[in-house]
Amino acid sequence: MRFSSLKIEEALDKLAKKFNIIVVENSVSTDLEISSIVEKFDNTQYVVVFKKLQNYPNFIGVANLLNSRQKLMYLLGVDSDEGLYRKILEAEEKCNGNIIEVSTHDFKEVEIDLRKLPIARYYPQEPCPYLTSGVVIGLLEKPDGTCVYNASIHRLSVLDRDKLVIRLVPRHLYTIWSLNREQGKDTRVAIVWTINPVLLLAAACSPPFGVFELRLVEPLCGTAPKVFMYDGVLPVPVDAEIVIIGRILRDEVAKEGPFVDVLRLYDEVRLQPVVKVEKILVRADRSYNFVHYLVPGLREHQLLMGIEKEAKIWKFVKNVVPEVRAVRLTYGSGGWLHAVISIRKNTDGDAKNAILAAFAAHPSLKHVVVVDEDIDVDDPSDVEWAIATRFRADRDLVVINYVRGSTLDPSCIDPESGLTCKVGIDATCPIAEKQKFLKARPHKTPEPSTSIAQGINELIK
């Protein structure tokens, strides 16, 4: 699906053609109320729009843009899980999308005061408002004059009117910050808040270090992002609603947290780098701005964080078994720690190979369940039935001790390294005895004609 631009309103217009939009008409506080309302529509296909944000009359809130794979597939123009996985993997492998540099933009500068932006606090024990859907574009200025760029999503909490605290995990932006520090430099950043959600997906992907994630956008949706070069070196997408220009300071840290993570647990309090804000830009071509609320721990957070990992699991498992029917990072595990994989196997060893491949593809995985193609991976009861009837611990259990997992897992042996124990469950039928394990299902017939009776008199008519 090609967009004429990456403006958020175009994505909303396209979503509205297939999915309903729920408009919240009453005034809503950014302090705890956003998450309470979005949670009610979490497991639905609704897009949520907050028409009136209390104390912020010039902003309109949006949520649930990508809380289902159906929405993501629709925006990417694919109609199957395999099509979705292939599109993500091919975009990462090629990394050849265009980025169009322009000389003009529709931004205006506003007062540098983060408290005048409708940044939300989502859960009661969180200490302050923070951004969850901000794409941070970071710049590494190498001694030879060349530049390396990275676009990634980071938690950004409000410390002061002109300072944020950024949660940096040891990935690409952390590497850029560390290398800049070695040169005695701060790290220049542009924080993009609210744009077409396809750009969010690109920023959530993990191409090799040095590949700019904005190059994934055109292969994903057919539209190349347009940027202007702030100070001649920092690319800023012109279709964003709000852009915060600043620097991740090399020598200043502050307490960050506790904030809720993808598992809906309060993360640890850590000392993290401070971002000094130098400029705030907002779109100037209309009287209001959209802001995207990504509620921690809900399905939109899980899908953005996990869908690329799901695609990699599909790829790795496909390399070792004849046919992969479906892969799911489960909602109950934060879309992160548990995978259910449906395969069609040729030998009884295929399921265990699939387990090992899944752990290799996504090292944060803790538990993997492999089922036959007749099991619905989206139905936890069907998966449980397969475990109850087809799994035998002495034959079908895979245990891997003392291996790196996820630092988000509070039960891990070492919270710093994520050292843990992993379990794989082969819940597939033994091939020689398959008939013994088949689940009885009703014969397929045409859908019956039905009606709803309001009482016994109506029932017996």
CA distance 92 to 220: 9
Pairing label, strands 47-53, 59-63: antiparallel
Tokens of 177: 């910050």
Bond preceding residue 258 cis, omega within 30 of 0: yes
**Amino acid sitting at position 106:** D
256 Cβ contact partners less than 8 Å away, ≥ 6 residues apart: 155, 157, 165, 166, 167, 269, 270, 271, 272
Known active-site residue 426: no
Pairing label, strands 226-230, 100-101: parallel
CA distance 213 to 192: 14
SS3 392: coil
CA distance 424 to 406: 16
- Region at 298 (left for phi over 0; alpha for psi -120 to 50; beta for the rest): beta
Tokens of 63: 């949520």
Q: Tokens 């009482």, residue? A: 455
- For residues 201 and 220, the answer to whether their CB atoms sit within 8 Å is yes
63 Cβ contact partners less than 8 Å away, ≥ 6 residues apart: 34, 38, 47, 48, 50, 292, 293, 294, 295, 300
Residue 171 vs residues 174, 433, 439: alpha-carbon distances, Å: 5, 47, 45
SS3 119: coil
Residue 301 vs residues 13, 197, 304, 306: alpha-carbon distances, Å: 22, 12, 5, 8
CA distance 147 to 180: 11
Q: Considering the candidates 261, 372, 396, 426, report the single residue annotated as catalytic.
A: 261
Among 427, 324, 420, which residue's Cα sits nearest to residue 363?
420
Catalytic residues: 261
